[in-house]
Amino acid sequence: MSERDTGYPASSGFSASTENAASSYDAPDASGSTAEFRAFASRSGEPDSPWRMRATGRQIALLAAAVIVVAIVLAVIAINVLNS
């Protein structure tokens, strides 16, 4: 067998050299994407990052307390409905 085994059946018409030559032209340029990412990551001038947390610890604690109170109220209502 002179061709490398590519997993394709012999009747498919693809040889290893044809497959490799075709795929080498369609391959995306990874270095271009890397350069674009590095330019984006090193960009400055934005006053505030979009993922920066703007809430204070006190606001988070109040929100957590409100969620807990709502959960307790709903649990009490559910227990009363199930017992009646």
Question: Distance between CA 39 and CA 31 in Å, rounded?
Answer: 12
Tens of pLDDT, residues 2-47: 555 555 555 555 555 555 555 555 566 666 678 887 877 777 665 5
Number of structural domains (the chain) is 1
Whether residue 63 lies inside any domain: the answer is yes
Between CA 38 and CA 43, with CA 41 as vertex, the angle to 5 degrees is 105
Instruction: Please indicate, yes or no, if residue 2 is contained in any of the structural domains.
Output: no
pTM: 0.41
- Looking at residue 61, what is its pLDDT? 96
- The answer to whether residue 10 sits within a structural domain is no
How many CA within 13 A on the CB side of residue 45?
A: 4
Residue 9 lies in a domain: no
pLDDT at 66: 98
Inside any domain, residue 36: yes
62 within a domain of the structure (yes/no)? yes
Is 59:67 a contact under the CB 8 Å cutoff? no
Integer Cα distance of 21 and 42 in angstroms: 36
Residue 19 lies in a domain: yes
